[in-house]
Amino acid sequence: MPELYASVILDLVSDALDRPYQYAIPAHLQGKVQPGCRVLVPFRSRKLGAYVLSLEGEKKVEQPKEILELPDPTPVLSEEMLALSEWLAIHFFNRHIETIRLCLPPAGKGAGALTEEHVRPRVSAAKLLEEAFALKKRALRQALLLEHLAYAGEEGLSWKELRRKTGASRNALRALETKGLLGLQAVRRERIPGRGPTGEGERQLLFTPEQEAAWTEIMEGWGKEKRFFLLHGITGSGKTEIYYRVAAETLEQGRNVLILVPEIALTPQMVAGFRGRFAGKLALLHSSLSPGERYDQWWRVQRGEARVVLGARSAVFAPLQNIGLIVLDEEHEQTYRQDDGPRYHTREVAGWRARYHKAVLLLGSATPSLESYLQASAGSYKTLELKKRVGDRPLPAVQVVDMRYEFHRGNRGIFSRTLLRAMEETLAREEQLILFLNRRGYAGFLLCRSCGYVVQCPSCSVSLTYHMEPEHLQCHLCGFRKAPGFSCPGCGSVYLRNFGLGTQRLEEAVKKIFPGAAVIRMDSDATARKDAHHKLWELFKKKEASVLIGTQMIAKGLDFPHVTLVGVVAADIALNLPDFRAGERTFQLLTQVAGRAGRGEKGGRVIVQTYNPEHYSIKAAAAHDYQKFVEEELKRRKSLHYPPFTQLLLFTCSAPFVELAEESAMELRASLEKEIVLDQLEQFIGPAPAPLPKIRDLYRFQILFKVNNPANYNPIIRKVIWELRSKMKGTRITVDLNPMVML
């Protein structure tokens, strides 16, 4: 047998080891070691895990060491996942082992198979009852065990249930087992993801003419090269019904389905619909599952038991085979971007897998990202439009209130007179309303009115947010918490006051003005516990509350027919961030939250409070005019040469000392400029302190590289960064391709 060698990636995160190593395959493992297998190999004086990338017949090193062990008899990575992990490493400037780990089965505490003891009969039911009658006078518990088992049938009962019903001890069980009347065995029990809406969406609704036209186009997509679609449908136009129908047709064709949503907890009605229509075939994959639940769901997919996967960002790596359809709902959402290493964008990974499987890719949104819009304009995606709501319901009327005018008229309160009057009328009609404020907590910061001191996080360049229930100050970047204190740390004054507005303070104000109204608050503080979001959603759905207050988590996925008023309390929060996407994000958020109103027969109304009523993103959102917004935003992006007209690489140098961070950034730019010959319009900007100069005790400097094709410089950038990391000890250098947040 010719000698074979394995090219492996070591299971250790290190720049120096981020390359394939060759090992010889010993004779006893020939034919067993395959690409995708996990192996144990000697490395220096250690024994390390590694993953086999490929088998090679040619020796590339003088004396390759031999693989020591093959812990798993079968590969843990498929051919597709091996190729995907390699592409992820190159395209997004990640280490290869980190991208491999994205594709592995879930592990961790509690992830193993869950078993329970099960008692099964070894004789007929008649024999069990005969023995039970004989034992009744001298061993009542044994008799009861046999009786329950006789009526349970061949499958038997769990020992836990039998013990509860009979009060029998383990000794009674062993005595019957010794007589050969029953047997005790371990049975694997699958952990089902916890609470969630079920049973909705089984009924197939009639398509509108627009839905029918979109459906027809998608059905024809399987036989064409153009299999990528952008489903641009206004809020309430029935995009989800199309997802259901296309998924069902995909299963009919013998292929599998992957449905991706921005956050699984924020799409309760979609989860209910898929559970109802694809019962027994559906697997849920998302971060809110326990390790055990995630383990069981993943292996159901791996074994082919679940043919429809519904999940958030990480579900894009689900081990589905023969994929026929990938849906990316709300494709514009920034939560699809993984910002911590390893970095990736779910939309791009979904596109890669769709091409690999020759599957249909369906991107859905009421406010498509500019990147997807431009792709569609260039012909890479086929645009499908839904311009009308189901039932021809009109979009809600949007009224913009200038809060500067309110201030000059002497109104210093949270609510404009217009919004306050609308709230009174809505509650008087016993209808529901939503108040949107994209800032959690009680107040933005705590300030000393004597000296102007603002209480800040000791580890980050941000003020601490003031929270009630319980009262504390908290950093929303690193999680640092402390008690507010009674005096100013700067001057000792007792004149400390909280400023700004958060959802907790908004809730307090509503309860004070409308003491009879039941109020629900939905933000990351109120929904921190498992299933809390679902419980609150159910309460509001059942009209047990009249007012729903929340952050961006209430802007999507909610369809309440009794909501006739939406109030946007402060539309300007995202507008003034130092980020070129601020206008786009504001437009998308306002459009999405406005879409929560008027979904029933009564119609709806939206009131937007702002200090920037003339801003183009607010005006376009108020007019429900996506095209107007896109034209203005693209004009601005093109003049500044920003995405989608170019690509961005954001280099961030972080260090515990500001001088070291700045020195590293200066040297990084010098090294890049030395190695790279810039094409037309390509440009380095910086280094400069990051908009948030310090996070988690690390000072940060950034360099922005506007680049036409990052792949052209991938090897150079990797080499420069690896060398600089080795040289500048204590410095962390990250590369972010087309970041969604520039802070």
Calpha distance 446→573 (Å, rounded): 18
Using alpha carbons, list the distances in angstroms from residue 502 to 189, 432, 506, 523, 555: 44, 21, 6, 10, 16
The four Cα atoms 663, 665, 670, 674 give a dihedral, to 10 degrees, of: 140
Q: What is the CA radius of gyration of the chain?
A: 30
Calpha distance 421→415 (Å, rounded): 9
CATH number of this structure's domain 209-391, picked from the four choices 3.40.50.300, 3.40.190.150, 3.30.1330.10, 3.40.190.10? 3.40.50.300
Q: Which CATH superfamily is domain 647-737 in?
A: Ribosomal protein S10 (3.30.70.600)
Calpha distance 106→318 (Å, rounded): 10
Q: Which of 334, 313, 214 is nearest to 588 (CA)?
A: 334
Mean pLDDT of 182-208: 62
Calpha distance 307→278 (Å, rounded): 9
Q: Given this chain, do its domains 209-391 and 397-440+502-637 carry the same CATH topology?
A: yes
Tokens describing residue 192: 């089902």
18-22, 287-291, 339-343, 371-375 — which is least confidently predicted? Answer: 287-291
Calpha distance 213→242 (Å, rounded): 11
Backbone angles phi, psi at 671, to 5 degrees: -65, -40
- How far out from the chain centre does Cα 426 lie? 34
Residue with tokens 């001191």: 453
pLDDT for residue 223: 63
Model confidence at 189, pLDDT cuts 50, 70, 90, reads low
497 pLDDT higher than 70: yes
- Considering the domain delimited by 5-102, tell me its CATH architecture: 3-Layer(aba) Sandwich (3.40)
pLDDT for residue 186: 65
Mean pLDDT of 430-456: 89
Which of residues 279 and 459 earns the better pLDDT score? Answer: 459
Mean pLDDT of 502-531: 88
Q: Which of 310, 321, 251, 253 is nearest to 286 (CA)?
A: 310
Mean pLDDT of 134-163: 84
pLDDT for residue 108: 47
202 pLDDT higher than 60: no
209-223, 427-441, 508-522, 658-672 — which is least confidently predicted? Answer: 209-223
Which of residues 498 and 509 earns the better pLDDT score? Answer: 509
pLDDT in tens, 333-353: 999 999 887 999 999 999 999
Mean pLDDT of 676-695: 92
Question: How many other CB atoms sit within 10 Å of the CB of residue 43?
Answer: 17
- Paired with 13 in beta bridges are none
The mean predicted confidence, pLDDT, of the chain is 89
pLDDT in tens, 33-88: 999 999 999 998 899 999 999 999 888 888 899 999 998 888 999 999 999 999 99
Q: Percent of the chain scored above 70 by pLDDT?
A: 94
201 pLDDT higher than 50: no
The four Cα atoms 620, 623, 625, 629 give a dihedral, to 10 degrees, of: -10
The DSSP string of 538-582 is HHHHTTS-SEEEESGGGSSS---TTEEEEEES-TTTTTTSS-TTH
- Considering the domain delimited by 397-440+502-637, tell me its CATH architecture: 3-Layer(aba) Sandwich (3.40)
Domain ranges of the chain: 5-102, 115-188, 209-391, 397-440+502-637, 647-737
pLDDT in tens, 688-738: 999 999 999 999 999 999 999 998 899 999 999 988 988 888 899 999 999
pLDDT in tens, 261-304: 988 766 777 888 898 899 889 999 887 777 778 888 898 999 89
Cβ atoms of 557 and 268 closer than 8 Å: yes
Residues 6+ apart with CB under 8 A from 452: none
Beta-strand ranges (E) seen in 134-255 are 157-158, 182-188, 228-233
109 pLDDT higher than 70: no
Calpha distance 599→236 (Å, rounded): 7
Distance in angstroms between the alpha carbons of the first and the last residue of the chain: 58
SS3 percent helix, strand, coil of the chain, rounded to 5, is 35, 25, 40
Model confidence at 625, pLDDT cuts 50, 70, 90, reads very high
pLDDT for residue 224: 67
Calpha distance 573→438 (Å, rounded): 7
What's the topology of domain 115-188?
Answer: Arc Repressor Mutant, subunit A (1.10.10)
Mean pLDDT of 400-404: 95
Q: Percent of the chain scored above 90 by pLDDT?
A: 55
Residues 6+ apart with CB under 8 A from 421: none
Model confidence at 607, pLDDT cuts 50, 70, 90, reads very high
* Sequence letter at residue 510: V
